[in-house]
Amino acid sequence: MSATMSRITLARRPDGSPVPEDFKLENAPLPSPEQGDVLIEVTHLSLDPYMRGRMDDVKSYAPSVDIGGTMTGQGVGRVLESRADGITKGDIVTGMTGWASHACLPASDIRRLDADLPPSTALGVLGMPGLTGWVGLHKYGRPQKGETLVVGAATGPVGSMVGQLAKSMGLRTIAIAGGEEKCRLATETFGFDAAIDHRAHKDAKSLREAIAKAAPDGVDIYWENVAGKLLEAVLPLMNVHGRIPVCGMIAWYGGDNIADTNQLPSLWRSVLVKRLHVSGFIIFDHWNEYPAFLADVGPKVASGDIAYLEDVAEGLKNMPQTFIEMLKGGNVGKQIVKL
C-alpha cells in the first residue's frame, strides 16, 4: 500500500467557464481509518454538472468547496482497510470520495454494491443521475400516457433516464442534444421518438420550429436540464397545465453566455396563462427514495430494458480537463473517470 494519495483541489474560483488553472493536483499522506471508518482505493469517479456550482462562493443548496479543498464528488472503489462492522477488505463500495485516489469515510456514509452489475453503474444509471430522473419525472413531471415530453441533454444520464421512463409510460418523447451522433444515440439507443440537434439551430426561433414539428400536440412536460436558448424555444409550445421540473441549467453554469435579456415577463406570463407548474428540485432531498428507485430500475438495467451509456476517461490528473469538456457537452453518456 502506498503511503500517499493523490487528490485534486480547487486552486481558485472560476470566472465563468472553468479552466485548468482553477484546479491543482496534490499529494497527501494516506489517512488511517479510525473506529467505524473505511479506507477506500478509488477505482471510478463521477463527473457531474452540479460540481460547477460547488466551485462558486455563493449560497446554494450545498456548501461550496473551499479554496485548497478537495473537489467534491461520488466515487466507487475497493475497501483496503475496514474498521467498521459489516464491511470487509475487498468489498466494492460507493460514497462521496471526492476527486481523489483514496478516501477514508465513515461506514454509515458508504454503500456496498451488488456484484451483478458493473461498479460504474452506481455513478450513473443506478446512481445520483438515474435517481434524479426517476424521482423528478414521477414527482414533478407527473407524466400521463399520450402526453409529450421534451428533454435537453437527452443522452446524458439524467435525460436518458427521463426519456426512457416517459417512453415506457406511453409518452411521445423528444430529445434535444448537441450534434448528429448524440441525436442518433437518442433515437437508436434510448428510444426517443424524435431527436433535434440544437447546434443546427442558430437561435431559439429556429429551434422552436423544429420542436413544434416534432411535437404536433404541444409539450406537456419540459424537463429543464439546460435553460438558455432551449427554454426560450420551448416555452411558447407548452400546453395548458404543463409541468416544468427544473433539474439544471447547464447553459448558464458558465456564468457567461446569458444572451436572452428580458425574457422574465414572457416566462411569467406563460406560467400564468398556461397554468404551468414549475418545480425546482435537488436530488439531495430525495435520497430516501433510493431503495424504491433501485428496486424498480435495477432489474430493468440488468435486463437491458433501460439502456445507459458511459464515457470513460482515464486518470485522476485528467479530471479537470474532462470536466471542462463535459460542461461544453464534449462527453457522450455519463462521464466517468477510471483511475
Contact positions vs a second copy (CB under 8 A): 53, 59-61, 224, 227, 231, 240, 246-249, 252, 258, 260-265, 267-282, 285
Taking the complex as a whole, the smallest distance from the CB of residue 285 to a second copy amounts, in Å, to: 7
Residue 272 phi/psi, 5-degree rounding, is: -75, -55
Residue 93 near residue 114, CB atoms below 8 Å: no
**What is the smallest separation between the CB atom of 315 and a second copy, expressed in angstroms?**
32
Cβ closest to a second copy, residue 5 vs residue 158: 158
Alpha carbon of 75 to those of 40, 285, 324: distances in Å? 10, 20, 19
Nearest approach, Cβ of residue 58 and a second copy (Å):
9
Distances (CA, A) of 336 to 262, 310, 314: 38, 7, 8
**How far apart, in whole angstroms, are the C-alpha atoms of residue 257 and residue 204?**
14
Kindly tell me which of 21 and 256 has the beta carbon lying closer to a second copy: 256
Q: What is the DSSP letter of 164?
A: H
| Half-sphere CA count of 96, side-chain side, radius 13 A | 10
Distance, CA of 203 to CA of 197 (rounded, Å): 12
> Could you tell me the smallest distance in angstroms from the CB atom of residue 282 to a second copy?
6
Q: Which is nearer to a second copy, 110 or 246 (CB)?
A: 246
Which residue stretches of the chain are H helix?
50-54, 128-136, 157-168, 180-188, 204-214, 228-234, 264-273, 290-303, 319-327
CB 172 within 8 A of CB 148: yes
Q: How far is the CB of 208 from a second copy (least distance, A)?
A: 15
Q: Closest CB to a second copy among 39 and 230?
A: 230
Extended beta strands in the chain, E state: 4-10, 23-29, 37-46, 75-82, 92-95, 102-106, 111-112, 148-151, 172-177, 194-197, 219-223, 238-246, 277-280, 310-314, 334-338
Between residues 40 and 226, which has the closer beta carbon with respect to a second copy? 226
Task: In angstroms, give the least distance from the CB of 60 to a second copy.
Answer: 5
Of 187 and 279, the one with the shorter C-beta distance to a second copy is 279
Q: Which is nearer to a second copy, 268 or 287 (CB)?
A: 268
Closer residue to a second copy, CB minimum distance, 92 or 271: 271
Q: Return the amino acid letter for 247.
A: C
Q: Which residue type, as a one-letter code, is found at position 62?
A: A
Q: How far is the CB of 252 from a second copy (least distance, A)?
A: 5
198 neighbors 230 (Cβ within 8 angstroms): yes
